[in-house]
A and B are shown apart, each in its own frame.
Chain A
């Protein structure tokens, strides 16, 4: 028997290695809830039927097929799984701060499925997060879109494999501080940031041309051409130019946002989302016209100079000007209550319930290129769902259950005190973190470059 188990385990191991896509899928019938579909209005006393991870039916008086569990959600609210378009949860490292362009770096190589932050995000109704490279470089690494399948041991299992590629860019204080002031190389100014971008893309154009020339030449009979040197860095930039990667750019000031819009126009880059975008409200018409919108904080401001002239009405102004707008966290703490952050657009600008909810569901899905799969409660979409006690936009709301692909990963009733899956063998005593453990991580891992700044540097990382 024991041997058989080992055999099974070995087979299972093989299975995991060779079929990343076989992620858990569940079936469930949620009954009698107020269903906030985000795209198709609110349904009272309605049911949502999920089979094999897909929403099959939304309506009234649905019955559960045999073997499908029914959950009574009378008096509760169901909304689409919350999507955080800016997070660093479940990443072992954040910044490859060694050069102003590091497009070859991939966050999917440093995904840590054991991080407790994933569970804490689930407990706040967040089913998908955009695990981003940090903001040290003008062109940083490629991000990973994660599905919060808590309990997975293989990093590949929490990566949303059917999400398109995205990459991190960063403008303003962070790249100029790290490279210009820190290392004495360009960029030290916002002029330099533009130059780094234009130089990079022009080099990528030459690189593309070299490969095109080679690919044509090698089909000629008797040719003796040798291929150009392969560069993952330049190939990634070429992929951006070819529209294969969505750019997500850390930005704050209106001038730098406007600059990147112009650079993108010049190079024909259409897939562009701004992140943070605190002064986005000043160039809202331009963001609406030329980009895939902005992903912003609900109310953060004044923690550094480039966000001093911010307004909590930013999201409302962007929304009213027609820009796709989402509310993000960039924080292991904020990610736990994005439903509340979205509600702040009602205090600051009076947005409707649907508009506010779209900012943490459909709109970030659009910005990540996954709105055909998630972001609303619609038949055919992946069954990422949250059940709330109280309307999710109420400050008294309490998430009750969170589902990813129809599988329940959080249930307030069965929540254990200690949800860790992995305990560090090197820690004798569990550390107590008194001021949040790495709340804000955009500039994490660049400390080696900044010994002189010491503690003060760590306070301000967005």
Chain B
């Protein structure tokens, strides 16, 4: 029995990524850059179809070539026969890097004190060495929007790549000011405010938001006129939204709030993305008509109302997409951003379809963030954010074999895998040796 078990375990270990196994005492496998030729794979480009028996050359952090018969001169060749190459996945709403252990306040850095704190920079507080980053990227999620929370204007979200030793090395070229649209919904069952109180508070918050907005407009006008201005970082940051320099990420979920947000945005002539949008399916046509792109999720979530069909959160993305809304997905997670592909699979199964679901975690967010020239598909000239897998990365049993971020081949290891390697066959076992 023991031998059978051992044989089994040995065969399992053989499945583990090579680098992880090659590790010896005192050695640490680091991400490394170079010229890599991923040879003979099925390449799912997302934008240019699926190419069989195709190779991808990575050089200088970019996808240098996609095609056949690419010279391997000077390149490290990685045989990908039978494998698939996909673009790295993008999670469009997380708190990754901003928190280590969510119940330990000393490690929670996503929610600042104050109602109007748009100047708070998520990028500043990204911890490149957060354990959750290593855990996330081996799932094929290579890029995330990391988003501060709380208050009316929470702070400024940042797009980051999940490799690098400083926030600036990780920065992905997109920032947005976060606004929590005043809400008429409950924050949970523990939210024991009366319906009236909720309504009153939402109205008060809306009034306040409008006043702040007017102030920011005035601030911008004064700034443009060259006036000597007092140091006012909150207004300065908001004025960048009004001038169009920064987009506004409006977190909004309840149907009536979404409608209000659409009205509020009208005529402001600013760049807007909606995030959350849990009840988007109720007002999908209105969102489509307004032409506002949407980041929705988590997909694996409960319906917002007891009377809703059990599958409304699964079906939400699909319904909005069908109405003509451009949809990207988010997990709204921290330590389990790795589940992004599964959220996408559920959205696919409940109406979005596999192709659109894949787009919702690759090219769509890239387009929404205005970085589609660099992200979201396997095309020459883009950043080398790629994954090599045994199959469809949205399918649970698929194994992700290699991950490249900015051309760096990242080690397919993390604490979860190291603990597996140590404890699968613990020694000593039951009895002391």
Residues of A within 8 A of B (CB): 116, 119-120, 123-124, 281-282, 284-286, 288-289, 299-305, 308-313, 316-317, 320-322, 332-334, 336-337, 340, 343-344, 346-350, 390, 393-398, 415-420, 428-439, 447, 455-456, 458-460
Contact in complex: B338, A285 (CB < 8 Å): no
Could you pull out 28 A-B pairs where Cβ atoms are within 8 angstroms?
Answer: A281-B419, A282-B423, A285-B426, A285-B430, A288-B430, A299-B338, A302-B102, A302-B335, A304-B103, A304-B104, A308-B101, A308-B131, A311-B420, A313-B420, A333-B300, A333-B302, A340-B342, A340-B346, A347-B399, A349-B12, A395-B345, A420-B307, A431-B185, A434-B183, A434-B188, A434-B253, A438-B188, A455-B190
Is B48's beta carbon under 8 Å from chain A?
Answer: no
With A and B bound together, what is the CA distance between A415 and B186 in angstroms? 26
Contacts of B342 in A (CB 8 A): 340, 395
Is B309's beta carbon under 8 Å from chain A?
Answer: yes
Centre residue among B184, B186, B188, B336 by max chain A CB count within 10 A: B188
Option from B303, B350, B426 in Cβ contact (under 8 Å) with A284:
B426
Contact in complex: A395, B100 (CB < 8 Å): no
Is B264's beta carbon under 8 Å from chain A?
Answer: no
With A and B bound together, what is the CA distance between A12 and B66 in angstroms? 73
Contacts of B345 in A (CB 8 A): 395-396
Interface 1/0s, chain B 265-287, versus A by CB < 8 A?
00000000000101100000000
- Closest CB-CB distance, B382 to chain A, in whole Å? 27
Is B304's beta carbon under 8 Å from chain A?
Answer: yes
With A and B bound together, what is the CA distance between A340 and B342 in angstroms? 9
Contact in complex: B103, A417 (CB < 8 Å): no
A-B complex: 6 closest residue pairs judged by Cβ atoms = A395-B345, A313-B420, A302-B335, A343-B396, A304-B103, A432-B185
Option from B190, B336, B424 in Cβ contact (under 8 Å) with A299:
B336
Is B348's beta carbon under 8 Å from chain A?
Answer: yes
Contact in complex: A316, B186 (CB < 8 Å): no
Is B226's beta carbon under 8 Å from chain A?
Answer: no
Interface size (B, Cβ < 8 Å)?
Answer: 68
Contact in complex: B305, A432 (CB < 8 Å): yes
Contact in complex: A433, B188 (CB < 8 Å): yes
Contact in complex: A456, B186 (CB < 8 Å): no
How many A-B contacts if CB must be within 8 Å?
A: 197
Is B18's beta carbon under 8 Å from chain A?
Answer: no
Contacts of B253 in A (CB 8 A): 432, 434
Is chain B's binding surface mostly helix, strand, loop or mixed?
loop
Q: Which residue of B lies closest to A462 (CB)?
A: B103
Contacts of B310 in A (CB 8 A): 119-120, 123-124, 336, 415, 419
Is B311's beta carbon under 8 Å from chain A?
Answer: yes
- Closest CB-CB distance, A329 to chain B, in whole Å? 11
Contacts of B303 in A (CB 8 A): 120
Q: State whether A302 and B348 are in contact (beta carbons under 8 Å apart), knowing that A313-B417, A395-B342, A395-B396 are contacts in the complex.
A: no
- Closest CB-CB distance, A417 to chain B, in whole Å? 5
With A and B bound together, what is the CA distance between A404 and B356 in angstroms? 36
Contact in complex: A395, B307 (CB < 8 Å): no
Contact in complex: A460, B184 (CB < 8 Å): no
* Seed contacts A398-B349, A432-B185; 16 additional CB < 8 Å A-B pairs: A281-B423, A282-B423, A286-B430, A310-B416, A310-B419, A312-B416, A313-B420, A317-B420, A348-B416, A395-B396, A431-B195, A432-B184, A434-B304, A435-B188, A447-B190, A458-B188
Q: State whether A313 and B302 are in contact (beta carbons under 8 Å apart), knowing that A320-B9, A397-B349 are contacts in the complex.
A: no
With A and B bound together, what is the CA distance between A317 and B417 in angstroms? 11
Is B429's beta carbon under 8 Å from chain A?
Answer: yes
Contact in complex: B304, A432 (CB < 8 Å): yes
Centre residue among A322, A349, A394, A433 by max chain B CB count within 10 A: A433
